[in-house]
């Protein structure tokens, strides 16, 4: 591997760690030097390391191989609390990628110049696609932000250092840099929302920085430059390739039977199908006679409960997992006969433990055609290694609301497991009508004179997993979004009503959180 040491935004040494010798380079920016070295060593891993981290760099070959187990990985780590971008970036970016957990491997575009690495082949593919900024931190953040949606897997990775230290001082992006970055990497309207949030919450509009940013151009890419790189993980995460299928169901007997028929003809059969049937009607019994009356080529574990709710049903199923992998499925989906076989082929290729698969309705067009880091989790269309699920449950606080999928995904990520999106194989979602004996749940805030907006469970997710500025940014966006969906046309009356509904939502979200 080749290590580029730097300090004060300038290269201090380029070191060939295999040959234990210096690599001669011309004096240039750090980014330019990276590309120069990539040309000289096109099949190598390239690392950058701040001088303050030289003695902490974990060069253990097994650790490096575990982190960079395929070519499309960019990993870095900032050992101190402060990031290059201030928290105010949360005003325009609500995603989990802008609020990384530094204690575990975590998907993020919050790159760091302290230490990091990338394959030469990736840099050579992107050389003409990205700007070689002289500010190395800006260059790294721009690279990650632009290419994460197109298949470059970017991680904050604490294993790059032998142990935590505070010797590194993170350079701080100015307000001018923040506005510039937003202009170059987000839709144009976010500039105005950023300024508005600065005024509302920082009592400063940063007028000069705002107007200067208007003269920058948005950085664009067609996202095809990495398509030529072949991904083949060196990790062996599949041993037995056994899989249990988890299906919560309520009042959809025919749809369930059809899906079971799809599972029965798989080229790679599941070992067990765990069905949790719900019927809240007093004295009711199971309507799934075909589970016993039909011969299935896999074991069926059938649980019946009067307690409705998909979160509770999936938690019941999680206690019965026996296989190496778990396919979280809905009861109204269809899959091709090679679905599981193809899915495991993809999992082998990328070496990832948690994967959400494309789930589209009939005639719905495919939006994403590449594997990339997913911002949520699909509890009805995901395959996860069972070992990763130990200690996890679907939070019943989200039952009958929104956000349980995203929350479960965050639980996985906070244990150090990324969630990838696979565009293939695809799942067909039939979007079946609500089951015959489903009843509308009575939510705790049903009798509030003023109904909460947004839903308290949506608010709960944001309280649990987002930063303060991300919540403030969401509030500003919601103010404009909700306006066209309500009858109050007077903006001042609407603002008063909006604040009141927000307060009710916040009250109930905190009550759920603390209960």
Where does residue 8 fall: left (phi above 0), alpha (psi -120 to 50 degrees), or beta otherwise? left
Is residue 479 within 8 Å of 430, Cβ to Cβ? no
- What's the rounded Cα separation, in Å, for the pair 205 and 355? 41
Q: Are 102 and 78 in contact (CB under 8 A)?
A: yes
What local confidence, expressed as pLDDT, does residue 435 receive? 55
Percent of the chain with pLDDT over 70: 99
- Looking at residue 436, its pLDDT comes to 44
Query: Per-residue pLDDT averaged across 148-164, rounded?
Result: 95
Whole-number Cα distances in Å, 514 to 401, 444, 506: 17, 15, 12
Alpha-carbon 342 to chain mean position: 22
Q: Is the preceding omega at residue 410 within 30 degrees of 0, hence cis?
A: no
What is this structure's pTM?
Answer: 0.94
Instruction: Please state the domain extents for the chain.
Output: 2-160, 243-429, 456-514
Tokens (6 digits) for 266: 């798989």
As a whole number of angstroms, the distance between CA 111 and CA 144 comes to 7
CA 99, CA 197: separation in Å to the nearest integer? 18
Quote the tokens at residue 96.
């989990």
Segment 406-418 mean pLDDT: 97
Q: Does the pLDDT of residue 4 top 50, yes or no?
A: yes
* N- to C-terminal Cα separation, the chain: 51
pLDDT at residue number 437: 43
Give the pairing type, strands 243-249 and 106-107: unpaired
In the three-class reduction of DSSP (H, G, I as helix; E, B as strand; rest coil), residue 385 is classed as strand
pLDDT of residue 433: 77
- Burial (CB < 10 A; 0-12, 13-18, 19+), residue 515, is exposed
Residue-wise pLDDT tens digits, 471-499: 999 999 999 999 988 999 999 999 999 99
Does domain 243-429 fall under CATH 3.90.550.10? My reply is yes
What number of other Cβ atoms are within 10 A of residue 282's Cβ? 6
Helix (H) or strand (E) holding 273: strand 272-278
Whole-angstrom CA distances from 437 to 167, 192, 281, 329 are 62, 48, 7, 21
- Residue 402's pLDDT band (cuts 50, 70, 90): confident
Position 164 pLDDT exceeds 90 = no
Q: Compute φ and ψ for 301, nearest 5 degrees.
A: -110, 115
Confidence check: pLDDT of 243 > 60: yes
pLDDT higher than 90, residue 152: yes
Query: Which two three-digit tokens encode residue 422?
Result: 């696979």
Q: Find the angle CA(426)-CA(359)-CA(482) to the nearest 5 degrees.
A: 155
CB 513 within 8 A of CB 454: no
- What span, in angstroms and rounded, lies between the C-alpha atoms of 40 and 342? 38
């Amino acid at each position: 591997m080749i290590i580029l040491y730097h300090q004060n935004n300038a290269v201090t040494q380029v070191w060939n760690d295999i040959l234990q010798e210096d690599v001669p380079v011309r004096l240039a920016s750090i980014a330019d030097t990276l590309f120069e070295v990539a040309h000289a060593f096109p099949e190598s891993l390239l690392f950058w390391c701040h001088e303050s981290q030289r003695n902490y760099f974990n060069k253990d070959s097994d650790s490096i191989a575990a982190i960079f187990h395929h070519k499309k990985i960019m990993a870095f780590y900032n050992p101190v609390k402060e990031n290059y971008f201030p928290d105010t970036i949360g005003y325009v970016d609500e995603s989990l990628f802008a609020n990384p957990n530094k204690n575990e491997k975590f998907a993020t575009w919050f790159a760091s110049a302290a230490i990091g690495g990338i394959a030469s082949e990736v840099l050579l593919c992107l050389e003409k696609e990205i700007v070689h900024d002289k500010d190395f931190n800006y260059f790294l953040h721009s690279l990650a932000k632009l290419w994460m949606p197109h298949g470059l897997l970017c991680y904050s990775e604490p294993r790059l250092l032998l142990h935590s230290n505070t010797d590194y001082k993170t350079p701080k992006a100015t307000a001018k840099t923040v506005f510039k970055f937003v202009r170059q990497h987000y839709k144009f309207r976010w500039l105005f929302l950023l300024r508005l949030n600065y005024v509302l919450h920082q009592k400063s509009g940063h007028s000069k920085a705002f107007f200067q940013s208007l003269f920058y151009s948005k950085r664009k890419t067609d996202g095809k430059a990495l398509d030529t790189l072949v991904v083949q993980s060196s990790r062996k995460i599949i041993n037995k390739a056994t899989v249990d299928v988890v299906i919560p169901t309520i009042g959809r007997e025919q749809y369930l039977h059809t899906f079971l028929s799809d599972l029965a003809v798989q080229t790679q059969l599941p070992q067990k199908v765990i069905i949790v049937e719900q019927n809240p009607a007093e004295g009711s019994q199971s309507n799934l006679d075909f589970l016993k009356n039909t011969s299935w080529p896999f074991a069926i574990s059938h649980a019946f409960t009067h307690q409705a709710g998909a979160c509770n049903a999936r938690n019941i199923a999680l206690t019965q997992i026996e296989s190496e992998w778990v396919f979280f499925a809905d009861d109204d989906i269809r899959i091709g006969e090679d679905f599981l076989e193809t899915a495991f082929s993809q999992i082998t290729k990328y070496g990832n433990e948690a994967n959400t698969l494309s789930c589209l309705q009939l005639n719905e067009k495919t939006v994403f055609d590449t594997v990339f880091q997913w911002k949520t989790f699909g509890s009805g269309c995901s395959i996860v290694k069972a070992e990763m699920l130990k200690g996890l449950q679907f939070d019943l606080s989200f039952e009958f609301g929104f956000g349980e999928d995203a929350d479960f995904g965050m639980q996985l990520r906070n244990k150090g497991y990324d969630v990838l999106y696979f565009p293939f194989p695809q799942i067909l979602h039939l979007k079946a009508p609500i089951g015959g004996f489903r009843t509308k749940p009575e939510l705790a805030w049903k009798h509030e004179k003023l109904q909460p907006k947004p839903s308290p469970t949506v608010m709960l997710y944001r309280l649990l997993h987002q930063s303060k500025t991300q919540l403030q940014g969401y509030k500003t966006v919601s103010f404009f979004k909700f306006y066209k969906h309500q009858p109050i046309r007077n903006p001042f009356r609407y603002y008063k009503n909006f604040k009141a509904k927000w307060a009710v939502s916040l009250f109930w979200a905190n009550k759920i959180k603390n209960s």
